[in-house]
Structure 1
Amino acid sequence: MLGLAACGSKFRSYDGPEVTQLLVVKSERRLYLLHNAEVLKTYDIGLGFAPSGHKQYEGDGRTPEGMYFIDRRNPSSKYHLSVGVSYPNEFDRALASELGKRPGGDIFIHGRGPSWKKTMPKDWTAGCIAVDDRDIEQIYAMVQDGTPILIRP
């Protein structure tokens, strides 16, 4: 039992095994929360509106690929709740610079929020990883800042 609890609030508590890593497999549209090699939870995800390939610069609509960390959280997100991904790293800044562009930033795992409509495409973000609002409530409770996240093609 994972031990998630809530009483009508978007803020849940969690007392299960520590999430030691997040794994995103873009081609599967899946997010895995892991405790060592054990999968604790799996979520369906949406990606940036141009889902193939690694994010190269601000505005390209791609979701980054590589190793990052959860580095912040936003309890007041317009997308219900969100946890930040440490994009861009040194490699990302160098790649964007070679292209004469800015790398962008503000990549998050977030919910859909009140403005999301059922008619929106599966991949609709500007490069973030989107989940259902109930899912981000669990993720927000389970994942701590500093947790590594590997985003694979």
Structure 2
Amino acid sequence: MTRRLFFVVGLWLVLIPIAHSQTFMTTQQVIKQIHNQSLQRLMPLFVAARVDYPPERITFLASKDSNRLELWADDGSGYRFVHHYLILHASGEAGPKLREGDRQVPEGIYRLTHLNPNSAFHLSIRIDYPNSFDRERAAEEGRHRPGSNIFIHGKADSVGCLAMGDQVIEDLFVLVERVGLENSQIMIAPHDPRIRPLLPSAKHLPEWTKILYHQLEQGFSQFQYQ
């Protein structure tokens, strides 16, 4: 039942309805709700890829230009490609994230650090931007607010994050929870460096982008289709 507060304003009795406070759920409560349906979608992908489920570790490869997120998994016998997902929205353009509010999706190699079962975007998985590389470059350049709170999340809109839609984020949420955050990472590049080299030709990009792109080229090169 909706509660009400009563205020006397002059000679009038004013009723103000107060909505019930939001119910917060734990990660395990959410997993219990969505696990079975997500598993029905995940298992055929792992069977087709010939990877045991759950795997020992996973890596996501994100390419900005194609709005593509690849899932690679290793069950102890080496990484295999499992599936690719469409990124429904990712703001910004080619180039690393530099500051709060620049609307850029970061570029780099990141750990996944937190599962958020109470996200405003249905569910979300936090990316550890800024990582040590990002913080060091920001300190060198005197940038005090490089940004934060970058997520893979549900829904179809985003500013600086990767919006995957609600059903996909449920599957990724279940997968990362099962594998473990410590065994999960994401690499984000302006385009797939396995297709063409990452050349920071834009004049506005900092000089250290060459180092970052070399790291990404080495990282992506570990994941080759069989």
TM range (shorter): 0.7 to 0.9
- TM-score normalized by the length of structure 1: 0.78
Residue 109 in structure 1 maps to residue 142 in structure 2: no
1:86 counterpart (128, 151, 154): 128
Cα separation, 2, equivalents of 1:12 and 1:109: 18
For 1:12-91, what aligned pairs fall within 5 Å after superposition?
Answer: 12-13=35-36, 14=39, 16-18=53-55, 19-36=57-74, 37-91=79-133
Cα separation, 1, equivalents of 2:90 and 2:98: 12
- Conserved in 2, the CA contact under 8 Å of 1:21 and 1:34? yes
> Given the superposition, is the C-alpha separation of residues 63 and 46 from structure 1 closer, same or farther in structure 2, using an over 3 Å criterion?
farther
Q: Give the number of equivalent residue pairs.
A: 136
Structure 1 match to 2:186: 149
Cα separation, 1, equivalents of 2:93 and 2:86: 14
Cα separation, 1, equivalents of 2:88 and 2:134: 22
- Conserved in 1, the CA contact under 8 Å of 2:89 and 2:158? yes
- Conserved in 1, the CA contact under 8 Å of 2:91 and 2:161? no
State the superposition RMSD in angstroms: 2.3
What percentage of aligned pairs have identical amino acids? 36
Deviation at 1:46, TM superposition (A): 3.8
- Conserved in 2, the CA contact under 8 Å of 1:83 and 1:110? yes
* Larger-gyration structure (1/2): 2
1:27-61: CA deviations, max 9, x gaps? 21111111133222211004542132111111110
Structure 2 match to 1:120: none
Amino acid at match of 1:12: H
Q: Per residue, is there more helix in 1 or in 2?
A: 2
